Amino acid sequence: MACFTVPLATAVAVSAAGKTLPEKAKRNPFVARLGWLAGMLSGGSFLLAVEHVWHGEIVPHPPFLSAFSQGPEAVEGMLREMATRGTAMAVLSVAVWVAMVAVSCAMDKKKESAPCAS
């Protein structure tokens, strides 16, 4: 019901980290491409939120997440879903991002570009 909140929180943390890191750190290809990760996580979270609105799990009035009005069992199920599915989605997104950066660096090295040299 609220699995999208875990990747969304990760996107917020990644965006904040990308903005606060010093310029020296941005020479690292992974740090330089944190925007990719933030975009992947926030975009996926947005699409999941739309899907949850479509199915009535998010409502336009308080308490916003329908599980809160369905009782403690529903809240427990929501928290379990956040811990399992939400975390799995965030971890998988990070793994795909790592692969994307690695492929990008390999392509840059093939062209003998500087961004991935350090």
pLDDT category of residue 114 using cuts at 50, 70 and 90: low
Question: pTM, whole model, 2 decimals?
Answer: 0.84
DSSP, res 64 = S
Q: Is residue 115 part of a domain?
A: no
Please indicate, yes or no, if residue 70 is contained in any of the structural domains.
Answer: yes
CA distances from 21 to 64, 94, 101 (A): 34, 19, 18
More confident residue, 41 or 26: 41
* Mean pLDDT rounded to a whole number for the chain: 90
Smallest Cα–Cα separation from 22: which of 31, 13, 33?
Answer: 31
Q: How many residues does the chain have?
A: 118
- Does residue 118 lie within any of the structural domains? no
- Structural domain count, the chain: 1
On whether residue 116 sits in a domain, the answer given is no
Amino acid identity for residue 116 in this structure: C
Domain assignment of residue 22, given as a range: 5-110
Q: Which of 107, 104, 106, 111 is nearest to 32 (CA)?
A: 104
